[in-house]
Structures are given as structure tokens and as C-alpha cells.
A = this chain, B = another copy of it.
Amino acid sequence: MKTPTKIRGNHPRAESLRIRENLVEAFEDGAVARAGLIAHGRGEAFDYLLGEQTIQPARKAIRAAAALLLIAKRPVVSVNGNSAALTAEEIVSLSELVKAEIEVNIFYRTAEREEIIESLLVRAGAKKVLGVGEGNSACIPELGSERRRVSTNGILVADVVLVPLEDGDRTEALLKMGKKVIAIDLNPISRTSQKASITVVDNLVRAMPELIKEVKKLRQTKKAKLNAIIKQFDNRSNLQRCLSNILERLERLADERGLTG
């Protein structure tokens, strides 16, 4: 059964509803888990608090993330069902631009779901997808879920991992292995956001195209300049600015609704 919703163009949150439809479709196809639908809902709420726009501190984080991906020796983009459903093409473009491996890494792991996600990526143009099937896998220490299994050619040996839509446990485990983690997370106070080396507080659907643009802008830039961009970026104070943005918007929304005392 396909979703019976007809999204009216004038609905106050039409864009958000269209993204949701893509996700529900991928759920139908088996790429997205039930927990992925719930996680998407949490994301919607935080995106609403951001005003469903890429805020200035997110742009700053995207620039630093682009620089980090460009100087990385073995970057990997870690892909789950939701990120493949929403941004398969951008994942492929980005990984080509920064010569990153693409690795499927999912929480509710089944061979079938791995293959469905792989096929979404292949359909989007991916030539190689790691993390599918039993071969070449190693364990990340201290991770309870099935996601501890990683590819020996991918995340295990990566220096920089881009993890869109991840959980806190996962990010911590990667950091303990000495990797730099770039997270894309709509909640600036989540554990993932707190722990990541660079946190992009933005909707994946908006952040990925911006990240690609920034990589294109910076790819002729000298290494020393890229290093300077990374060094100048302070994740903590950037998260602070994201949170201020949210608080200001909540206050403004309250004001508009006559809810200020």
C-alpha cells in the first residue's frame, strides 16, 4: 500500500512532508527500519525548532567538515537506511569528490536490508559499497549493537568517518579508536553532537548538497589553508551558537503566538 496522503502545496510544512514521503517509500522497500521512521520523527521536531533552514553555525561546520574530508587519507561515509533513503545521490557524489569509501552500517542489521541499501546506493551511481555481507568484517570494541561490525577496508582503517544520523554509542566508539567523526545531527545537545569532532546541526537533506558545494569550492585549496580552516573551527562554541539559534526561534515563535508574558 502506498501512502494515501496528498500533500497540498500550501500546507505550512509541505517540504517536510515531501521528505517524509520519500522515507516512507524507502520503508516500504525495506531500506528503512521501523526505528528509522521514529528517528525521522524526532528529527522533524528538531528541524522545526531550527526553522527548517540551514543556520549560520551549520554552514561553518559544513566548511570545516569539507576541509577535514579533503585532507583525510582514508575517509569513509557510513550509511544507514535513512541516509540512503534521503540522500543516496549526494552520498555517491561526495564520496567521489573526496575519494571516500561508502560503507553500509546499520543498527537493525539483516543481510536483506544491507543489500537493499546497497542497491539504493548502486542505483545512485556507487561503484563500490563496503559493509554488505559477512566478508571482510571486524569488530569495533565496546559497541553492544550489531553495528560493531565494520569493514576491514572501510571504517576499521579510516581516519575520518562521516556519520549522518548516528547514535551516541557509535560516535564514542569511533572516537576511542582514534578516528575523527563528522556528525550530521539535528539535535545540538545529543550525545552524538557533543562527542563528534565536527557536528553539523542541520537536516541531512539540506546539509549534504551544501557539503558537496563546499568541497567543490575548497578542493583546489592548499593543505595548509585547509588545516587552518579545521583548526579555527571550535565545535563546542559552534554548538553553543546552534543552541542559541534554537532558543531564539522558540522565543520568536512564542511571541508570534502571543505566548510571551
Residues of A within 8 A of B (CB): 3-5, 8, 20, 23-24, 27, 34-35, 37-46, 108, 144, 187-189, 194, 236-237, 239-240, 243-244, 246-247, 250-251, 253-254, 257-261
Q: How far is the CA of A46 from the CA of B250 in the complex (A)?
A: 12
Dominant SS at the A interface?
helix
A46 touches B44 (CB 8 A): no
Write out the residue numbers on chain B whose beta carbons fall within 8 Å of the beta carbon of A244: 261
A251 adjacent to B259 (CB under 8 Å)? no
**Identical copies in the complex:** 2
User: A38 with B35: in contact, given A189-B253, A254-B243 (CB under 8 Å)?
Assistant: no
Within the complex, which residue of B34, B144, B240 is in contact with A259, where a contact is CB–CB below 8 Å? B240
New A-B contacts (17) at CB < 8 Å, excluding given A189-B250, A236-B259: A3-B34, A34-B37, A37-B37, A38-B38, A38-B40, A38-B44, A40-B41, A44-B45, A45-B45, A189-B254, A189-B257, A194-B257, A240-B254, A240-B259, A240-B260, A243-B254, A243-B259
A to B CB contacts below 8 Å, 8 in the list:
A4-B108, A5-B35, A20-B38, A24-B34, A38-B44, A41-B43, A44-B45, A189-B250
The CA of A5 and the CA of B107, in the complex, are separated in Å by 9
The distance from the CB of A189 to the nearest CB of chain B, in whole angstroms, is 5
Q: Chain B residues with Cβ under 8 A from A108's Cβ?
A: 4
- Residue of A3, A24, A35, A240 with highest tally of chain B CB at under 10 A: A35
A34 to B27, CA, bound (A): 9
Q: Which residues of B contact A4 (CB under 8 A)?
A: 108
A37 and B45 contact, Cβ closer than 8 Å, known pairs A108-B4, A259-B189: no
4 shortest A-B CB distances, which residue pairs? Answer: A41-B41, A45-B45, A37-B37, A38-B41
